[in-house]
């Protein structure tokens, strides 16, 4: 099921995992790539209780349910409303009966209505652990990052190695995403924060921070 964690997964390949300490509890972070657009899905597990959280039921419901086998799933969080991030949502939610979370600004983009509304600064709990919700509009108006502990950040399509997510030629949206990143991510979190994006490989805030001014200048 797993191999040594390096932040890289192949579409349809093995999941990779690592264990991190969050407030004295061990949390497994499991990453896998599903679907034709190399979407990352993440299963976070409070290993002491076996309770889990799924970030982005993007595709391949059978694969995701297999990764969840033996765990007690508490919630599914969708980072934003683009179709490639929720194609397995209805099937996984129906199979598990757990509440789904989405920011209301993206509600019109997802056919299945969310059970819970994401609010900036709110929390989603799984077992004895919680992630903090960080609203980062720009890629979509409802785009949200999830912070586990102090240094593990799941960014959806808000931040990747090399820059922010696409804002599709909208200067206003580009300003939004850069403001979101500078104020709520780079301005609030330490250099060692590990970034787990919605597609592709991982990075850290320390690796990306020197490029902030360059991103502002180039636009998107």
* Domain membership of residue 71 as a residue range: 16-218
Q: What is the pLDDT of residues 124-163, one digit of tens each?
A: 999 999 999 999 999 999 999 999 999 999 999 999 999 9
Distance CA(130)–CA(46), nearest Å, equals 9
Q: Is the pTM of this model over 0.95?
A: yes
Q: Within the chain, where are the H helices?
A: 61-68, 89-96, 171-180, 205-208, 212-218
CATH of the domain at 178: 3.60.15.10
Yes or no: say if 147 and 131 are a contact pair by the CB < 8 Å rule.
Answer: yes
Distance CA(63)–CA(70), nearest Å, equals 14
The arithmetic mean of pLDDT across residues 194-208, rounded, is: 98
Q: If you average pLDDT over every residue of the chain, what do you get?
A: 96
In the prediction, which pLDDT does 170 show?
95
Question: For residue 73, is it within any domain?
Answer: yes
CA distances 10 to 14, 36, 65, Å, are 7, 11, 19
The values of phi and psi at residue 160, to 5°, are: -130, 170
CA distances 192 to 21, 86, 150, 151, Å, are 14, 29, 10, 7
Instruction: Give how many domains the chain has, as a whole number.
Output: 1
Question: For residue 5, is it within any domain?
Answer: no
In the prediction, which pLDDT does 5 show?
85
Distance CA(118)–CA(199), nearest Å, equals 22
Question: For residue 166, is it within any domain?
Answer: yes
Strands ordered across the beta sheet of 123-126? 123-126, 129-135, 144-148, 152-156, 194-197, 203-204
Question: For residue 7, is it within any domain?
Answer: no
**Strands 163-164, 25-34: pairing kind:** unpaired
Q: What is the pLDDT of residues 26-78, one digit of tens each?
A: 999 999 999 999 999 999 999 999 999 999 999 999 999 999 999 999 999 99
Question: For residue 8, is it within any domain?
Answer: no
Question: For residue 32, is it within any domain?
Answer: yes
Yes or no: say if 145 and 56 are a contact pair by the CB < 8 Å rule.
Answer: no
Question: For residue 162, is it within any domain?
Answer: yes
Question: For residue 68, is it within any domain?
Answer: yes
């Amino acid at each position: 099921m797993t191999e040594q964690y390096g932040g890289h997964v192949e579409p349809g390949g093995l999941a990779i995992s690592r264990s991190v300490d969050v407030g004295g509890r061990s949390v497994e972070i499991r990453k896998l790539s599903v679907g034709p657009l190399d979407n990352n899905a993440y299963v976070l597990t409070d290993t002491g209780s076996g309770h889990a959280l799924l970030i982005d039921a993007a595709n391949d419901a059978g694969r995701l349910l297999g990764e969840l086998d033996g765990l007690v799933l508490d919630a599914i969080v969708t980072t934003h409303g683009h179709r490639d991030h929720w194609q397995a949502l209805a099937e996984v939610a129906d199979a598990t009966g757990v509440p789904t979370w989405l920011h209301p600004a993206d509600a019109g983009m997802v056919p299945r209505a969310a059970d819970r509304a994401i609010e900036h600064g709110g929390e989603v709990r799984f077992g004895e652990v919680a992630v903090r919700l960080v609203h980062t509009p720009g890629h979509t108006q409802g785009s949200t990052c999830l912070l586990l502990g102090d240094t593990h950040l799941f960014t959806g399509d808000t931040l990747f190695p090399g820059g922010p997510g696409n804002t599709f030629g909208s200067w206003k949206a580009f300003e939004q995403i850069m403001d979101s990143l500078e104020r709520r991510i780079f301005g609030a979190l330490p250099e060692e924060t590990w970034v787990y994006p919605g597609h592709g490989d991982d990075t850290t805030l320390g690796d990306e921070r020197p490029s902030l001014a360059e991103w502002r200048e180039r636009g998107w």
